[in-house]
C-alpha cells in the first residue's frame, strides 16, 4: 500500500502540459534546426493534426525552444472572430508590440549590441520602406501588419536576440474569401511575413491547427504552402514506445505502478491518442488512490471503464455536437450510420430525405465549424479521433 499518494500526475485537458511530453523529440529537434537556418532560409512551420493529439502542448514546447535559442517568441490562440483583415491585424500588431517591449527589457539586461550582430541578422541596410515596397498592391492592413512585425524584429535584433517568432494556435480559423472584394486575412499574414523574409529579416511563423489549415494555405497566395515546412502530429505509438511512455512515465516516483496486462489493455483501447492516455491514467489514478491500492490493475479498469467513457463523451465529444444547429446535428448523426473512413457525401445522401444541395451546405457548415474536414471532393473525415464510435454511442443513448 502506498503511504500518502500525491496529486494526480495525469493531465487530461486542452493545452494542459503533460508531466511527460512523449514522442515529440524529432519535431522539437527539427524546429531547433529550422530556427538555426534563419534568416538565410525562412523558418516557417505548419503544424497540423486531429483534436486532442497534442498540437497545443507541442506549440508551447516550441515556444520554449525558440526562447532558449535566443529568439523572442510570442504565442497566441486564434478565435473565429480573428478571421478578418482588421481583426487579425489589430491582434497581431498588439502581440508584436508586446513582444518588442519584452525584448527591450531583456536587452537592457544583456548590454550593448554591435553593428556586426545587427548585420548578421540582415538588418543593417534594410528599412521598413524596403519591406513595404514589395507589398505594393496589398491593402492598408497588410502594410500596417508588416510594419508592426518589422518593429518587433528590429527591437528583437537590436536587443541582442536572434529574431522574432510568431506562433499561432487554432490557425485553421483563418481562411480567405474566394471573391476578390472579400476578406483575405490569411493571405495578408503570409504576404506580410514573406515580405520581411524576402528582405532577409529573421522572422519565423508557426501556424498550428486542424488539417484544414493546409487547404486554406493552398487556396491563399500561390506561394503560401511552399513557405512552410510541414509537420503532421499524429497518435503516439508503441509498447515499448512513446504511447507507453506517456502512460507510464507520470507514475514514476509516485509509489504507484501499473500491471503489464493493464498497460497492454489501455494502450490498445486509446490507440495512442494523448488526450485519451491522460484521461485513462487520471481515472485509474483516482480509482487506485481512493481504494488505497498501489497498483493499476485490469479489474480496476473493468470496474471504471463505463465511467471513463462517460467522462470522455462529456468532456471531449459532446461539446462539438451540442453547439451545432438541429439540422447540422441531423446530418452529423446520420454520418454515424455510414461506413467510415472516409465519410462520403453520397452515403449520407442515400440515407437522408434532405436535398443534395441542402446536404452540401450542411457539410460545408460542419467543415467550417471544424467538426469534419474535406479530404477531396465528396469525401470527409472527422477532426476528432474515434468520433465515429462516439456517434454510435450517442445514437444508442
Ligand X SMILES: Nc1ncnc2c1ncn2[C@@H]1O[C@H](COP(=O)(O)OP(=O)(O)OP(=O)(O)O)[C@@H](O)[C@H]1O
**Coil vs helix vs strand at 133:** helix
Q: Which of 49, 107, 138, 272 binds ligand X (CB under 6 A)?
A: 49
Question: Strand pairing of 372-376 and 379-382?
Answer: antiparallel
DSSP characters over 204-217: EEEEEE-THHHHHH
Using CB under 6 A as the binding rule, whether residue 53 contacts ligand X is answered as yes
Angle separating helix axes 298-312 and 260-270, nearest 10 degrees: 20
Whole-number minimum distance, CB 90 to ligand X, in Å? Answer: 24
**Least distance from ligand X to the Cβ atom of residue 179, Å:** 30
Q: Which does 42 bind (CB under 5 to 8 A by kind): ligand X, Mg ion, none?
A: none
Task: Give the residue among 342, 333, 306 at the shortest CA–CA distance from 394.
Answer: 333
The partner in contact with residue 153, picked from ligand X, Mg ion, none with C-beta cut-offs of 5 to 8 angstroms by kind, is none
121 binds, among ligand X, Mg ion, none (CB under 5 to 8 A by kind): none
* SS3 label, residue 232: strand
Q: Contact with ligand X (CB under 6 A): which of 5, 8, 9, 12? A: 12
Per-position x/- string for 19-58, each x denoting binding to Mg ion as judged by CB under 5 A, each - no binding: ------------------------------------xx--
End-to-end CA distance of the chain: 39
Site size for ligand X (CB under 6 A): 23
For ligand X, the closer CB: 51 or 184: 51
Q: Annotate each residue in 364-393 with x if it binds Mg ion (CB under 5 A) or - if it does not, as one string.
A: ------------------------------
The reply on whether position 212 binds Mg ion by CB under 5 A is: no
Q: Which of 9, 22, 132, 165 binds ligand X (CB under 6 A)?
A: 22
Query: Taking CB positions, which residue lies at the least distance from ligand X?
Result: 54
Smallest gap, in angstroms, from Cβ of residue 58 to Mg ion? Answer: 9
List 5, 8, 21, 100, residue binding ligand X (CB under 6 A): 21
**Contact characters 269-308, ligand X, x per CB under 6 A:** -----xx--x------------------------------
As measured in angstroms, the least distance from the Cβ of 368 to Mg ion is 18
Handedness of CA 389, 390, 394, 397 (dihedral sign): positive
CA 317, 323, 324, 330 torsion: positive or negative? Answer: positive
Asked if 42 is part of the footprint of ligand X (rule: CB under 6 A), the reply reads: no
CB 115, min distance to ligand X, A? 42
The 10 Å Cβ neighbour count of residue 337 is 14
Q: Which is nearer to ligand X, 55 or 374 (CB)?
A: 55
DSSP alpha helices (H): ranges in the chain? 25-36, 55-68, 85-110, 115-120, 128-133, 140-158, 185-198, 212-219, 242-248, 260-270, 274-291, 298-312, 318-322, 326-335, 345-351, 356-368, 387-396
Bridge partners of 196?
A: none
The set of residues, in sequence order, having a beta carbon less than 8 Å from that of 305 and lying 6+ positions away, is none
What string of DSSP letters covers 159-173? TT-S-EEEEEESGGG
Stretch that binds ligand X, among 21-29, 125-133, 139-147, 343-351 (CB under 6 A): 21-29
Q: Does 15 bind ligand X (CB under 6 A)?
A: yes
Least distance to Mg ion, CB of residue 119, Å: 39
φ and ψ at residue 341, rounded to 5 degrees: -85, 165
**Alpha-carbon distance 28 to 38, whole Å?**
16
Q: Is 56 one of the binding residues for ligand X (CB under 6 A)?
A: yes
Span 224-263, contacts to ligand X by CB under 6 A: 246
How far, in Å, CA of 312 to CA of 232, rounded?
24
Residue 259 beta carbon to ligand X: minimum distance, rounded to whole angstroms: 21
Question: What is the contact surface with Mg ion in residues (CB under 5 A)?
Answer: 55-56
Question: What is the contact surface with ligand X in residues (CB under 6 A)?
Answer: 11-16, 18, 21-24, 49, 51-57, 246, 274-275, 278
Amino acid at each position: 500500500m502506498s503511504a500518502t499518494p500525491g496529486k494526480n500526475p495525469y493531465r487530461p485537458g486542452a493545452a494542459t502540459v503533460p508531466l511527460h511530453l512523449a514522442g515529440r523529440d524529432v519535431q522539437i529537434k527539427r524546429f531547433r534546426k529550422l530556427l538555426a537556418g534563419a534568416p538565410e532560409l525562412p523558418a516557417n512551420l505548419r503544424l497540423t493534426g486531429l483534436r486532442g493529439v497534442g498540437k497545443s502542448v507541442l506549440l508551447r514546447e516550441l515556444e520554449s525552444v525558440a526562447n532558449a535559442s535566443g529568439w523572442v517568441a510570442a504565442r497566441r490562440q486564434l478565435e473565429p472572430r480573428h478571421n478578418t483583415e482588421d481583426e487579425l491585424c489589430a491582434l497581431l500588431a498588439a502581440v508584436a508590440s508586446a513582444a518588442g517591449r519584452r525584448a527591450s527589457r531583456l536587452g537592457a539586461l544583456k548590454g550593448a549590441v554591435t553593428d556586426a550582430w545587427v548585420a548578421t541578422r540582415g538588418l543593417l541596410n534594410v528599412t521598413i520602406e524596403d519591406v513595404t515596397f514589395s507589398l505594393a498592391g496589398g491593402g492598408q492592413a497588410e502594410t500596417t501588419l508588416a510594419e508592426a512585425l518589422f518593429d518587433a524584429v528590429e527591437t528583437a535584433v537590436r536587443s541582442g536576440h536572434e529574431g522574432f517568432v510568431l506562433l499561432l494556435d487554432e490557425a485553421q480559423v483563418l481562411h480567405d474569401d474566394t471573391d476578390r472584394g472579400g476578406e483575405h486575412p490569411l493571405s495578408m499574414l503570409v504576404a506580410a511575413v514573406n515580405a520581411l523574409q524576402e528582405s532577409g529579416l529573421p522572422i519565423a511563423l508557426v501556424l498550428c491547427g486542424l488539417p484544414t489549415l493546409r487547404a486554406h494555405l493552398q487556396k491563399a497566395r500561390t506561394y503560401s504552402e511552399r513557405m512552410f515546412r510541414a509537420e503532421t502530429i499524429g497518435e503516439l505509438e508503441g509498447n515499448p514506445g512513446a504511447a507507453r511512455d506517456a502512460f507510464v512515465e507520470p507514475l514514476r516516483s509516485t509509489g504507484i505502478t501499473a500491471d503489464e496486462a493493464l498497460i497492454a489493455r489501455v494502450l490498445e483501447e486509446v490507440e495512442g491518442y494523448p488526450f485519451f492516455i491522460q484521461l485513462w491514467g487520471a481515472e485509474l489514478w483516482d480509482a487506485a488512490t481512493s481504494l488505497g491500492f498501489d497498483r493499476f490493475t485490469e479489474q480496476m479498469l473493468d470496474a471504471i471503464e463505463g465511467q471513463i467513457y462517460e467522462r470522455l463523451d462529456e468532456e471531449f465529444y459532446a461539446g462539438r455536437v451540442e453547439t451545432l444547429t438541429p439540422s447540422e446535428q441531423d446530418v452529423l448523426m446520420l454520418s454515424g450510420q455510414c461506413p467510415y473512413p472516409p465519410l462520403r457525401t453520397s452515403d449520407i445522401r442515400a440515407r437522408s430525405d434532405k436535398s443534395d444541395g441542402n446536404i452540401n451546405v450542411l457539410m460545408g457548415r460542419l467543415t467550417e465549424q471544424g467538426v469534419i474536414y474535406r479530404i477531396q471532393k465528396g469525401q470527409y473525415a472527422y477532426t476528432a479521433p474515434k468520433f465515429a464510435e462516439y456517434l454510435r454511442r450517442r445514437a444508442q443513448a
